[in-house]
């Protein structure tokens, strides 16, 4: 066995060991919060053992899953028996576990701004999108103009946050971008135009082109989300 064969054998063993110790991620591809975790994993260049749950079939309500997560939400990460949910919390956990200083810098003010953007995404942008859009898709309700105005207001907020910033916070890609891009891409995929928010548009194109593994981590799930939307719309139009 020559040196190349030895190196190849060692790499194969490493890959096997890595797979054996991979963390489990319970998820559904169309979910924006699940795609946040996939984007973080791609940026960290780590492998997760993906366990897709069919929410419509109630796979998140099984006894086994409820033992892991009583809230029965996705994404849920399981690291050697330690279960954790809420996408942005999972993102911070993975970043700290792998000691990444770029996605969540130690500078207290930069970190505070990242946290603010994450809280804005969690508490304002994504909920306002959900309140406006999901009743139309899942309950067949007509679009509510007041709820749409609130969504527009939140996009305008984000547009103002980006003034003087290349990325969501400063000039480098952070966890804030990975969280927000999952939401903004979902909003756009639902047919909401970003034309009125030029900074958001520029930021969106930048993150799509610079976030590691963006196509696999986010676009793949977006296609399923678009398919769900098209399928539900087709049924309501019959």
Task: Cite the active site residues.
Answer: 31
Q: Are 214 and 39 spatial neighbours (Cβ–Cβ below 8 Å)?
A: yes
Q: Are 125 and 117 spatial neighbours (Cβ–Cβ below 8 Å)?
A: no
- Torsion angle (degrees, nearest 10) of CA 20, 218, 130, 111: 80
Q: Are 203 and 164 spatial neighbours (Cβ–Cβ below 8 Å)?
A: no
Q: Are 90 and 96 spatial neighbours (Cβ–Cβ below 8 Å)?
A: no
Q: Does residue 82 sit in helix, strand or coil? A: strand
Q: Is the dihedral of CA 79, 100, 116, 184 positive or negative?
A: negative
């Amino acid at each position: 066995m020559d040196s190349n064969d030895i190196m190849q054998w060692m790499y194969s063993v490493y890959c096997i060991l890595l797979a054996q110790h991979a963390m489990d991620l319970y998820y559904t591809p169309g979910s924006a919060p699940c795609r946040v975790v996939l984007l973080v994993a791609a940026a960290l260049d780590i492998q997760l053992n993906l366990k897709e749950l069919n929410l419509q079939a109630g796979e998140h309500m099984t006894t086994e899953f409820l033992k892991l997560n009583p809230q029965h939400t996705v994404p849920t990460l399981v690291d050697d028996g330690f279960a954790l949910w809420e996408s942005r919390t999972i993102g911070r956990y993975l970043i700290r576990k792998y000691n990444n200083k770029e996605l969540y810098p130690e500078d207290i003010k930069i970190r505070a701004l990242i946290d603010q953007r994450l809280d804005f995404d969690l508490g304002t942008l994504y909920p306002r999108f959900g309140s406006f859009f999901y009743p139309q898709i899942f309950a067949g309700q007509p679009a509510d103009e007041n709820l749409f105005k609130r969504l527009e207001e939140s996009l305008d907020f984000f547009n103002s946050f980006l003034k003087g910033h290349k990325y969501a916070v400063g000039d480098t890609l952070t966890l804030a971008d990975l969280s927000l891009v999952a939401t903004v891409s979902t909003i756009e995929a639902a047919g909401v135009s970003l034309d009125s928010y030029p900074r958001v548009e520029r930021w969106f194109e930048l993150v799509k082109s610079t976030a590691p593994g963006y196509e696999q981590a986010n676009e793949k799930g977006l296609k399923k989300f678009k398919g769900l939307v098209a399928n539900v719309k087709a049924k309501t139009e019959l």
